[in-house]
Each structure stands twice: as structure tokens, then as C-alpha cells.
Chains A and B, each alone.
Chain A
């Protein structure tokens, strides 16, 4: 099976053709023009991760609270993560770095505040 990826290493954006085995595991890649693409492809296949950022309403505050995952989480959990953020309740005051959702989606990664709110 083959999959097409765009390398994000530079503006070149090489189109990478990745060959996968029957279990979807990385086998080989072609189409890269440097080692960045060569290393990007297996990582992006095996464990694609993304930072997730969002905003949430806080009772008593006119300003919404901006939050982010402390580290990148698996890409397939993005929308579950957003749902957990939406379901979370939080009270003022809030400081940058406060944990808003601990261990989001069982990833071991917290969702943290990225601004202060009083």
C-alpha cells in the first residue's frame, strides 16, 4: 500500500511516496530531496502528533481562556481532546501553566492555560 505525504521541513514541500506493509507499518519512502524528508516520513506514519490549541469560556470572565496541550498528542485524538477541553470546568483565577485538563484522553499529557485570568 502507498501513501502520499507532503514533507513539512521547508518550502520545497517534497511529495513523499511512502510504502506501507499490510499492517500499515512503514516500509520505505521515495521522493525526498534531503534527510529531513527521509526522517519525517517514518515518524509521520508511525506516530503522527500535533499540538492542540483551543479556547474555553470561564464563568465570571468576559475573556475566554486560551489553552494548549503541554506537548504534542497523537493526531487521531485531536477531536477527543477538543471535546475534553469543552467539557472541562474551571474557576478563576487562572495562571499561565495551570493544568486545565490533566492527562487528556489518557495520553499522560496535560492541557494547560496559556494566559492569566483574574
Chain B
């Protein structure tokens, strides 16, 4: 074990699960410190990894100083202004610890993708793919955390199954004429959309599955899909959406096939006033 008394910076799923793991292995986890006003992890993990072991979740807080020379001796944390995210002077508190665990976000590992000449998307920081999870390089497909960082392995499996199916088809039938790719844009409240591209010409009866992260916490938001600026789908309101839980929407492929030539698709959230 790297230490005995631990402070964790970041309350995404990995920070939360590490809090429980460190507790299981005999550490005293003093606090989980989170810059945002909410945990970006699953609610289940907040309850079962922190609450179960009475580990405090310090929202709107960050680490402003680390004490110690050869070894961490403690950290100073402070409350941050909710808007500016800057530490508020006078709110500092010192926590003695011998380990600071940083769990401050994941991005896809792109070494292979870049080496293969795959285009990357700015918002997921992973490959740009179409509805079959095929990249801009013919015959190269991406799924799982190399594509975008998932919360749950079940969705990785589902995504991989579809990518695998498409890859098998490619191997058997060879390169198909995909037609023109239509970009999928991120509208209000949507970040990290996957797929970023649709090929209407090659769509089958299989629905197109969109996944993304809500930009913020929204109550009563609907997922809506526009084709060329016209709303074609208006989802049911979700009681709550949050960046910590990936949102998804399966869309009937007919909506993209019927339109003839389409030039763009937008996925957005609509929040009631």
C-alpha cells in the first residue's frame, strides 16, 4: 500500500471506488474533495463507497497546498467560489495525511488510434465514428473507453457488440459505399456525442444509438433530435440528468433515411423554463 491516511481529490467513479478500496485495504480515507457542487460519479457509488464508510464528500472544495518534502504530510483544502472555481481566502483547512490520491478525469488512450491515422473528436478526445463505430479509416472500428469514457461496462459490451458486428460484415463483404457522412452536432446541454457522424445511405433497420454526457445537472430535460434544424424527435422528460451518468437515446433509423439528402443532425436538451 502506498500509504495509510489518504485524501482523495476528485469524486468521479474512480475516486469513489478508490475510497472504498483504500478503506478495504486498511487505510483511513479522511475526505473526498470535489471542485464541483456535485459528484460526477454514480449516486450508487457515492452511497456505497463514501456514505457506507462515513467518508466525507467535500463539494465545492479543492486542494490548495501539499505539505511535506520526502513524503506527503498533509494537504490544505479550501472552499471554492461556485462560479469562478477560485479558492475562497479564509476557508482553508489542513488535513493530515500521508497520501493524496488524484482522480481528476479520464480521456481515451489514443496512441493506437493516432498511429492508425484515425481522426479524433475534440469533445470526447477519442476517435470520430459513425453509427457502426467505424472511424474515418476504412475497416478500423472503435468501441469502449478508447472511444469515450464509460460509466458502466454493460454499455461497453453493447457498443462493442455493434462495432464487432459491423467489423465482421466489413471482413466478409469488404468495403461498402457508405455515401456521404452527415455530421452530428452537439446542441444545448450535450457534450461528447457519439457517434459524431451518420451515413444515411448505409443505415439498416437497426436504430441509431446516441450517447453523450449532459453538460450540467438538468431537471425535467428532454433529449431532442433535429434534422437540418427541424425537430424530428422529442424525448420524454428525464426527472434528472447529470454529467456523471451518460445519457443515451436510440433513434429509429427511418428518421434519417426518409429525409433524402440531409446535411446535419443535432442532438440537444430542452429544459422546461
Interface digits, B226-266 against A, CB 8 Å rule (1 contact, 0 not)? 00000000000001111011000000000000000000000
Interface digits, A1-39 against B, CB 8 Å rule (1 contact, 0 not)? 000011111111100000000000000000001100000
- A50:B52 contact, CB within 8 angstroms: yes
In the bound complex, CA of A38 to CA of B212 (Å): 29
With most chain B CB atoms within 10 A of its CB, the pick from A5, A11, A75 is A11
Q: Which residues on the A side are within 8 Å of B44 (C-beta)?
A: 8
If A50-B48, A82-B24 touch, whether A8 touches B43 (CB-CB below 8 Å) is yes
If A6-B46, A33-B239, A82-B24 touch, whether A11 touches B245 (CB-CB below 8 Å) is yes
B238 to chain A, nearest CB (A): 9
- A8:B239 contact, CB within 8 angstroms: no
Q: Counting CB contacts under 8 A, is B51 at the interface?
A: yes
- A10:B52 contact, CB within 8 angstroms: no
The contact sample of 8 A-B pairs, CB cut-off 8 A, is A5-B47, A6-B51, A8-B44, A10-B245, A11-B217, A12-B240, A13-B47, A54-B24
With most chain B CB atoms within 10 A of its CB, the pick from A6, A7, A50 is A6
Q: Which residues on the B side are within 8 Å of A9 (C-beta)?
A: 43
Q: Which residues on the A side are within 8 Å of B42 (C-beta)?
A: 8, 11
Residues of chain B having any CB pair with chain A under 8 Å: 24, 42-44, 46-48, 51-52, 217, 239-242, 244-245
If A6-B51, A33-B239 touch, whether A13 touches B43 (CB-CB below 8 Å) is yes
CB < 8 Å neighbour of B240 from A5, A10, A54: A10
In the bound complex, CA of A11 to CA of B243 (Å): 9
Q: Which residues on the A side are within 8 Å of B239 (C-beta)?
A: 10, 12, 33-34
Q: Which residues on the B side are within 8 Å of A33 (C-beta)?
A: 239
- Chain A: interface size category: 10 to 19
- A6:B43 contact, CB within 8 angstroms: yes
Q: What 8 A-B pairs have minimum CB-CB distances, sorted nearest first?
A: A8-B44, A11-B242, A12-B240, A13-B43, A11-B240, A11-B245, A8-B47, A6-B47
In the bound complex, CA of A9 to CA of B51 (Å): 15
Residues of chain A having any CB pair with chain B under 8 Å: 5-13, 33-34, 50, 52, 54, 75, 78, 82
Q: Which residues on the A side are within 8 Å of B241 (C-beta)?
A: 11
A13 to chain B, nearest CB (A): 4
In the bound complex, CA of A7 to CA of B51 (Å): 12
Other A-B pairs beyond A8-B44, A9-B43, A75-B52, 5, CB < 8 Å: A6-B46, A6-B51, A7-B43, A11-B245, A13-B46
A10 to chain B, nearest CB (A): 6
Q: Which residues on the A side are within 8 Å of B217 (C-beta)?
A: 11
If A33-B239, A34-B239, A82-B24 touch, whether A11 touches B52 (CB-CB below 8 Å) is no
Q: Which residues on the B side are within 8 Å of A10 (C-beta)?
A: 43, 239-240, 245
Q: Which residues on the A side are within 8 Å of B240 (C-beta)?
A: 10-12
Q: Which residues on the A side are within 8 Å of B245 (C-beta)?
A: 10-11
In the bound complex, CA of A9 to CA of B239 (Å): 12
In the bound complex, CA of A107 to CA of B104 (Å): 38
* Closest Cβ neighbor of A54 among chain B residues: B24
If A6-B51, A75-B52 touch, whether A11 touches B24 (CB-CB below 8 Å) is no
- B244:A11 contact, CB within 8 angstroms: yes
Q: Which residues on the B side are within 8 Å of A13 (C-beta)?
A: 43, 46-47
* Closest Cβ neighbor of A11 among chain B residues: B242
In the bound complex, CA of A52 to CA of B17 (Å): 12
In the bound complex, CA of A13 to CA of B219 (Å): 12
In the bound complex, CA of A12 to CA of B38 (Å): 11
Q: Which residues on the A side are within 8 Å of B52 (C-beta)?
A: 50, 75
